[in-house]
Structure formats: C-alpha cells, structure tokens
Amino acid sequence: MKDKNKDELNTLRHSAAHIMAAAVKKILGNKVKFAIGPAIENGFYYDFDIIKPFTYNELIKIENIMNEIISCDFPFVQSYISKENAISFFKKNNEKYKIEILSKIKDDIVSIYKCGDFVDLCKGPHISSTGKLSFFKLLSVAGSYWQGNSSTKQLQRIYGTAFLKKENLDSHLNFLSKVKDRDHRKLGKALELFNISDIIGSGLILWLPNGAVLKNTIENFLRKLCIENSYSFLSTPHIANDTLFSISGHLETYKENMYPPIMSKNISYHVKPMNCPMHLLVYKTKLHSYKDLPIRYAELGTVYRFEKSGVLHGLLRARGFTQDDGHIIITPEQLTNEILKILKMATNCLKVFGFCEYKIYFATMPKNKYIGNISDWNIAQNIIENTLKTNNYPYDIDDGGGAFYGPKIDIKIKDSIGRLWQCSTIQLDFNLPQRFNIFYVDRFGNKKRPYLIHRALVGSIERFIGILLEHYAGEFPFWLSPVQVAILTIDDKQKDYCNIIYKKLNKYNIRVFSNTKKEDLRNKIKQCIINKVPYMIIIGEKEKLNKLISVKTRKNIDLGSMKIENFISLVQHK
C-alpha cells in the first residue's frame, strides 16, 4: 500500500527542484545547462553544468529568486509532445543532457513541464503551482558526475530540503545543525585523531597518536571477544596474485572497486579488497573432518577498495580500512545455532560501545548481479528466515539487498540523534566453498561441501570510529578515551608530586597526560575541556602537602579532593 503523505512530500520536493532550476536559469541564463533534479530522502537536488562552482552567497541569491517565483504562483503545466519535437526544442537551447536522456527513451510521446519561463523534461507529478511551496531551504553544494561516470565533466549539485509544514522544516534544520556539530571530520581534527593527506592519497587514513590509541583499544576489545568465542586469529598478505581473485570471482564481479593491478615479471597482483579468499586457503592447508567444524577464523585485516572520489567521506567512506572480519566454515546442520551465536555476539558487542537500539534486516538475492543457482539461494534464504522467525527476532526484509554470493542479515544501529548505521553483518555463502573446492569428511568418509559464513561485528574499524565520534560528539566513555586523565599543576613546584601521581595511574594502565608548563591553570583546564578529556587532576601546594588530588570532569564539575587510590577505584569501574 502506498504512503500518501510520502508521495505528497516527494511531489513537493520534486517541484522544489524545478523551482530552484528556474531560479538558476533566471540568474545565469544561457550560461548554465541542466542535468537532472529528483526528490531524494529528506530533500531534493539539481545538477547544473556551469563554468564556476556556486558560492554560499549565490545560494542565498537563488533562494531569494525562488521566493519571487513562489510569490508569482506560476502553475505547473504539463504537455505531451513528440520525442522529435522535444529533441528540437532542447537542441535550440543547447541542453545536451536532456537530449541524451531523450535518446534513451523508447516512447514516441514524452512529457514536459513548464513553470513560468522554465521548461523541463519530466514525467511529474508536480504541485499545482509554485505558490504551494512554502517551507524549504537550500543546504549545500557538491560536485557530481553525469550519471555517476567520473570520466565525464564535473557538475555542480545544489542540495535542498522542503516540507509540508514549518515545524517539520524547523525540526529537520535543527537535526542538520546537530549533525554538523558532530561531523567526525571536524571532531577528528580537533581531537587530533586522524589526518587525510593528498601526499598519501585520497581515502587513506593517517592515524595520529590519539587516534592510534583509540583504534588499538577497539581492536584489542574485538580480539579478546573473538578469542572468548573460539575464533582463531589469522594474518594474511596485503597483495595477492590475480589467480586468487579470479578463483574467488572478484575480478569478475568486483573489479571496478579494486585498485589497478601491480605488474612484476609479467605476473599481475592486486591489493586485496577482501580477506575471505585467503582465509579459505588457510582452511585448505590440511584435511578436516566433520568433527573439526565449525572452524572460526578472525582477522583485523587491512583491505583496499578504489571508491570513486565523489563518495569518499572521511572515515565513513575510505579506500583503505581495517575490516573486522570473521569467516566460519560450517556444516549445513550447524548453521542455525551459529547464526544465533553470532547475533548474540554482535548485539552484546554493540551494547558495550553504547548502541542499545538496533534494527535487523534480512537481505535477499540481488535481482541481477549474483552467482550460483536459484535452488542454493532458496535453501540459504529459508535457513536465515526460519532462524529469525523461530527465535522471535523482529526483522525487515531488504528485498534484493544480498551480497552477490549469498543472502545476509544486517544489523543497523541507532545513534544518539536517531540515525541508523549499518554495522554488523552475517552473510551466508555457498559459492566460495565451491569455487575453492573446499570440503570436509563426514562420518562415513565422504567428502562434503561446507557452507561459509562471512561475519563482521562492527565492520570497518575506521567507519565505526567515525560513527562513534558522531554518536558521542567526541565525548567518548572513559574506557575508549585516548587520554583518560590529565594532571594539571598550578606551578612548577608540584612537578615531583605530579610524577608520583602519573606513575601510580600508569601502573593501573590508565592513559594519562601531564601538563606542568608555566601556564595559567584556567587555560590548561579549558584546553582539556576542548580535548574532551574525561577527568582532570588539579595539583597545587595544598594537594601536595596533604598527599591528595583535586578532581574535575570534562563538564567542569568539581568532584572535590580525594586520595589517588580512591580516584583509581572510581575510574576502574567506568
């Protein structure tokens, strides 16, 4: 059943895109060419071919012209004309993108819409007139490519949003303000966690000391968790002969996301986009019986994927990242229990990081790009669906969202401002075991083909840190904070006592930083608050004489004086 309100909102937003395009036409005249302008989730955009990128001041000007068009209340008028006449019309106006779209339309009759002086190729629907748009805002400008092809000229995309009610627009703009304040790229720079340098390359992360501590803390937690759940850790190479990726099918189905080959003595190598093919070769180093299964491998392995430059986004979309990978080789009879174990392991893991709300999605066979036969897909999908149903896991269906090699379960976590993020995944694979010809020996001495489960608890460590940064707005819980305690002296007379406190904290593996510089104490405290250090220990002559410490939190709350032992006991329970 269609959602009437959603359809109405999409119509409004699509119309807003046309009104914005009309405003750009009024400002730039023949100096602009028009590509496409659809409604999208939470808003709309239009792609323009112009000589110079739009500036923020130009967005304000476009908004003002939009308001003039709205006040004129021009009707949206639909006309049906022959494809031939449409091509002639857009040729006169030198609209090459519209002509390219028309060349791919098979119908002889096409639809165009007019509002004021602006005419666009469009199926509609639209609002009855421009005056029906009241609550909108232009948000940002970004580069884009025609039909996503990076070999074409870069276009300029203006994003906007529109709502049926003012309160909905205000609420959304307030949400966007929160998102902006929590941008992990801004926080990562302020907290000195990571850097991305053009000298190294786009999408490749340079971890600074604080960031490396954070990354290692997360990885150490995951290692411990995997060992507790009977995983064996592996370490595999960063590059491999193309033969490996030919067997796995990556060169067939994933090549556009892989870095170009490295040639050495007429042998072609690729940096790995996945760890799974190498894990299967580990399995093949010895013969396995049914008694050995399930075999659980884990690796925090760095992989490299050549994402298009337009989609790169700090830690959230990188080209090199550490994958929290697990691969389980398993008999068909063991699948249900193993899926349940992974679900429990994943949800418990996410709760430790502060994500208690989540949604489960069952992703089914892709419509086009998949390998294997339908009967195997049906068996695998039935196993997943029955496991979720019989164990009362609520789930939504992501129709066609499965991996090319099998169906999967995805867990999407809800962050502190209500956004959903894809994190944990459990993917059934009956194709790679066949491609690599792996088997186990059953109780009767027969060779049997196992299943393979690909699983990740947090996915890309880099992406997960980006999510954590935005979830906590940089105020990590104590156990995750790169610097947990800062010791601040009032003057250099307390240096010796500061060193004693430092060593005691260090002995208990508390990550501590000391600032004994000749600097105003208020500035020292202010810097710690900016750096979001959970606790500050203040040491003056009074503390030194009484062998005490004074403690403040990053919220500048004074916890008073206490013995260092009492403080250690306090933070050890964090």
Average pLDDT, the chain: 93
Q: Assess whether 464 and 546 both reside in one domain.
A: no
Question: Please, which pLDDT band fits residue 320 given cuts at 50, 70 and 90?
Answer: very high
**Tens digits of residue pLDDT in 437-471:** 999 999 999 999 999 999 999 999 999 999 999 99
Please report whether residue 305 resides in a domain.
Answer: yes
Please report whether residue 490 resides in a domain.
Answer: yes
**Mean pLDDT over residues 476-488, rounded?**
96
In angstroms, the CA 399 to CA 385 distance is 13
In angstroms, the CA 336 to CA 327 distance is 16
Last residue of a domain, one of 159, 181, 203: 181
Share of the chain above pLDDT 90, in %: 83
Q: Assess whether 12 and 75 both reside in one domain.
A: yes
1 pLDDT higher than 50: no
In angstroms, the CA 83 to CA 220 distance is 62
Is residue 121 within 8 A of residue 85, CB to CB? The reply is no
19 pLDDT higher than 60: yes
Q: Assess whether 543 and 459 both reside in one domain.
A: no
Last residue of a domain, one of 165, 181, 197: 181
Q: Is 42 exposed, middle or buried (0-12, 13-18, 19+ CB in 10 A)?
A: middle
Question: What are the DSSP calls for 32-76, one per residue?
Answer: -EE----EETTEEEEEEE-SSPPPHHHHHHHHHHHHHHHHHT-B-
Per-residue pLDDT, 523? 94
Is residue 37 within 8 A of residue 46, CB to CB? The reply is yes
Please report whether residue 480 resides in a domain.
Answer: no
Question: Please, which pLDDT band fits residue 288 given cuts at 50, 70 and 90?
Answer: very high
**Tens digits of residue pLDDT in 153-185:** 889 999 999 999 999 999 999 999 999 999 999
**Tens digits of residue pLDDT in 97-156:** 999 999 999 899 999 999 999 999 999 899 999 999 999 999 999 888 888 777 788 899
Catalytic residue numbers read: 276, 305, 323, 325, 327, 408, 454
Please report whether residue 525 resides in a domain.
Answer: yes
Q: Assess whether 274 and 408 both reside in one domain.
A: yes
Q: Assess whether 466 and 495 both reside in one domain.
A: no
CA atoms within 13 A on the CB side of 318: 28
> What are the b/e assignments for 263-277, b being 16+ CB within 10 Å?
eeeeeebbbbbbbbb
- Output phi, psi for 339, to 5 deg: -60, -45
> First CA to last CA across the chain, in angstroms?
48
Q: Assess whether 11 and 99 both reside in one domain.
A: yes
**Tens digits of residue pLDDT in 39-85:** 998 999 999 999 888 988 899 999 999 999 999 999 999 999 999 99
**Mean pLDDT over residues 337-362, rounded?**
95
Q: Assess whether 500 and 416 both reside in one domain.
A: no
- Output phi, psi for 446, to 5 deg: -95, 150
305 pLDDT higher than 90: yes
- Domain of residue 561, residue span: 485-572
**Tens digits of residue pLDDT in 228-287:** 999 999 999 999 999 999 999 888 888 888 999 998 888 999 999 999 999 999 999 999
Per-residue pLDDT, 3? 59
| CATH value at residue 525 | 3.40.50.800
**Mean pLDDT over residues 304-333, rounded?**
92
Q: Assess whether 163 and 23 both reside in one domain.
A: yes
| CATH value at residue 176 | 3.30.980.10
Q: Give the chain's domain count.
A: 3
**Tens digits of residue pLDDT in 540-564:** 999 999 999 999 999 989 999 999 9
Residue 524, both tokens:
């020292």
Per-residue pLDDT, 425? 95
Residue 81, classed as helix, strand or coil, is strand
**Tens digits of residue pLDDT in 392-429:** 999 999 998 888 788 999 999 999 999 999 999 999 99
Q: Assess whether 434 and 502 both reside in one domain.
A: no
Per-residue pLDDT, 145? 85
Residue 263, both tokens:
């040639």
Per-residue pLDDT, 4? 67
**Tens digits of residue pLDDT in 361-381:** 999 998 877 877 888 888 889
**Tens digits of residue pLDDT in 169-227:** 999 999 999 999 999 999 999 999 999 999 999 999 999 999 999 999 999 999 999 99
